[in-house]
Amino acid sequence: MKLEATQLAAQNAPYLDTHDRSWDILRQQMESKGLNTKALLQQLSDLQIAIPSWALGAGGTRFGRFSFGGEPANLEQKIADVGLLHALSRSAGSISLHIPWDIPEDPAAIRELAAIHELTFDAVNSNTFQDQPGQAQSYKFGSLCHHSAEVRAQAIEHNLEVIRIGQTLGSKSITVWLADGASFPGQHSLRGALQRTQDSLQAIYRDLPEDWRMFIEYKPYEPNFYSTVIADWGTSLMLAEGCGPNAYTLVDLGHHLPNTNIEQIVATLMIKGKLGGFHFNDSKYGDDDLTVGSIKPYQLFLIFNELVYGMANNTANNPPLAWMIDASHNLKDPLEDLLQSLEAIRIAYAQALLVDQEALADAQARQDVTEAQEILQDAFRTDVRPLVREARWQDGGALYPIQAYRELGIREQLIEQRGMHTVATGL
C-alpha cells in the first residue's frame, strides 16, 4: 500500500491549528535568540535515516519471537513499509539491505519500486555470522578471522558479492560487522585472529569500487563472550587505516560497554575524518536494540552535539555520514517503533542545532563550567517538537505520524492484505 498526499492532508487538517499555535511560540523564541528558523527547517529536512530491511518484521530475543500480523513477506513489501514510514515522517528516505536475507531478484524492478516510494539504497550489509543452506564452509568458528584459508576466502567472496548486488541498486557503501571472536580463553590466537581479519578486510578493500566506502563496525561482546576480534572503535579505526582512505569506522550506539562516553568517540573519529556511519538504537545494559531515545535521550543529544559540531567544523574532511536505525522490536508494532525512533533522532538533532556554539566556546575558554553546562542543557530542555513537526509538515508528512498511522488504520490494512502469519526474513 502507498499513502497518498491527499490522505495525509485530510488527516492533518484537524490538528493544524493546534500545531500552528505551538510553532508560532517556538519560532518567535528562536528568532529572538537570533536563530535562523528557515535554515533550521532545511537542516532537519535534509537529515534522512536509512531503515534496515530486517527491522520491519517482529524482532525477537533468544527466548522467542512474537508476531503481530501483516509482516512484510518479501523485499517488495519491505520497501512498501519503508515507503509508509517515509510518507508519514519524511525522514526515512532510504533502505539498507541485508544480504542474503534480502537479495533482489530483479534489481531494475526493485529500483523502480523504491523510486515510487521516493527511496534510495543506503549501505548494504554482509552476513558472515550465520551459515546459509548449502554453504560449503561454516562460520561457526569465525569468518574473516578464521584459521582456515578456505573459510576466509568464502567470507571475502561473500562480501564482494554483497558489493556487486549493492551496485545493481545504486548503493555506495558496505557495512561489515563480524561476530568473529572466541568464547573461551585459548580458543584462538588473539593476534592471529586480528592479523587474519586485517588481511581479509584488505582483500575486500582491494576490490571495493572507487566510489564506494567500506564501514567497519565494532562490538565488545556477543555472540562471543570472551573476546571479539573487532571489539572497539580503536581496533576498527586501526583496521580501517590498514585498508585505506575509503575505509571508515561505524559507530553503533548499542555496541559499547556500559557508561562508555560515545560522544567522545564521535569527536575522536571525526577529528581524524574517519567516522563513516552511525547505527541508532538505545540500551540499558548491553546491545539491547531498544527504541532510539527511549532510555538515554541526553546521551543522544550530547552525541548529536558532537556530530553537529563535527559537520560544521569539518577540518579533516569527514564524509557525510550513513545514518541507520539498528533496533529490534519484540513488543511494539515495528512501524510505530520506527516512527518513534525517527522522531527521537530528529528531536536530538534539532536540540543540538540550538546549542550556542560560540557561547559554549567562550564559556570553555573562561573555564566557566557552570555556564557551559547551562548552555548545553538550555538547548536540551527546549521543546523542539513544534520545529520538528513543522519541518515534516512542510515536506508533506504527517503532523503526528503515530496518530496518523493509527487513524488511517495502516496495520489493519496490512494484516488484511498480507494475513496474520507472514514472517519477515531476518533474525
> Least distance from C-beta 134 to Mn ion, angstroms?
27
Q: Residue 117 corresponds to which cell in the numbers above?
A: 516510494
Nearer to Mn ion, 146 or 279 (CB): 279
Region at 134 (left for phi over 0; alpha for psi -120 to 50; beta for the rest): left
Q: Which residues pair with 217 in a beta bridge?
A: 250
One residue of 196, 279, 346, 389 binding Mn ion per CB under 5 A: 279
Quick one: 279 or 346, whose CB is closer to Mn ion?
279
Q: How far is CA 225 from CA 11, 244, 281, 427, in A?
A: 49, 30, 21, 19
Q: Give the residue with the Cβ less far from Mn ion, 213 or 279.
A: 279
Among 326, 333, 337, 343, binds Mn ion (CB under 5 A): 326
- Binders of Mn ion in range 130-149 (CB under 5 A): none
Stretch that binds Mn ion, among 325-333, 353-361, 364-372, 407-415 (CB under 5 A): 325-333
Nearer CB in complex with Mn ion: 100/107: 100
Q: What 3-state class would DSSP assign to 12?
A: helix
- Tell the smallest beta-carbon distance from residue 78 to Mn ion (Å): 18
Tell the smallest beta-carbon distance from residue 326 to Mn ion (Å): 4
Q: Please, what is the minimum distance in Å from the beta carbon of residue 380 to Mn ion?
A: 25
At its nearest, how many Å lie between Mn ion and the CB of residue 376? 27
Cα–Cα distance measured from residue 127 to residue 265, given in angstroms and rounded to the nearest whole number: 25
DSSP string spanning 36-72? -HHHHHHHHHH---EEEGGGSS--EETTEE---S---
Site string for Mn ion, 246-265 (x = CB under 5 A): ------x-------------
**Chain-centre distance for alpha carbon 213:** 16
Classify residue 272 by its DSSP letter.
T
Binding of Mn ion at residue 282 (CB under 5 A)? no
CB of 320 to Mn ion, least distance (A): 18
Q: Is 114 helix (H, G, I), strand (E, B) or coil?
A: helix
Q: How many CA atoms lie within 13 A of 189 on its CB side?
A: 9
Q: Which three cell numbers stand for residue 229?
A: 576480534
* Amino acid occupying residue 131: D
Identity of the residue, 262 or 355, whose beta carbon is nearer to Mn ion in the bound complex: 262
Contact string 211-240 vs Mn ion (x = CB under 5 A): ------------------------------
Q: Which residue type, as a one-letter code, is found at position 40?
A: L
Q: Which of 322/360 has CB closer to Mn ion? A: 322
| Part in contact with Mn ion (CB under 5 A); list of ranges 127-135, 276-284, 287-295, 374-382 | 276-284
Instruction: Report the Cα–Cα distance between both ends of the chain, in Å, rounded.
Output: 25
We find the least distance from the C-beta atom of residue 109 to Mn ion, in angstroms, to be 28
Cell match 578471522: residue? 145
Q: No. of H helices and E strands in the chain?
A: 16, 13
Contact window for Mn ion (CB under 5 A) among 92-100, 106-114, 318-326, 373-381: 318-326
Output the smallest distance, CB 279 to Mn ion, in A. Answer: 4
Stretch that binds Mn ion, among 25-33, 42-50, 164-172, 326-334 (CB under 5 A): 326-334
H/E run at residue 260: none
Q: Give me the least distance between CB of 276 and Mn ion, in Å please.
A: 12
Question: CB-wise, 196 or 256, nearer to Mn ion?
Answer: 256
13 vs 96: CA distance, rounded Å: 33
Q: Which residue, 288 or 356, has its beta carbon nearer to Mn ion? A: 288
SS3 38: helix
Beta bridge partners of 284: none
Q: In angstroms, give the least distance from the CB of 135 to Mn ion.
A: 23
Q: Which is nearer to Mn ion, 12 or 159 (CB)?
A: 159
Going by C-beta distance under 8 Å and a sequence separation of 6 or more, which residues neighbour residue 387? 23, 26, 27, 30, 37, 40, 41, 44, 350
Count of residues touching Mn ion (by CB under 5 A): 3
Between 325 and 363, name the residue whose CB sits nearer to Mn ion.
Answer: 325
Which of 11-19, 99-107, 179-187, 274-282 is the region at the interface with Mn ion (rule: CB under 5 A)? 274-282
Residue 35 and residue 354 in contact, taking contact as beta carbons nearer than 8 Å: yes
CB of 277 to Mn ion, least distance (A): 9
* DSSP annotation string for 320-334: PPEEEE----SSS-H
Residues that bind Mn ion (CB under 5 A): 252, 279, 326
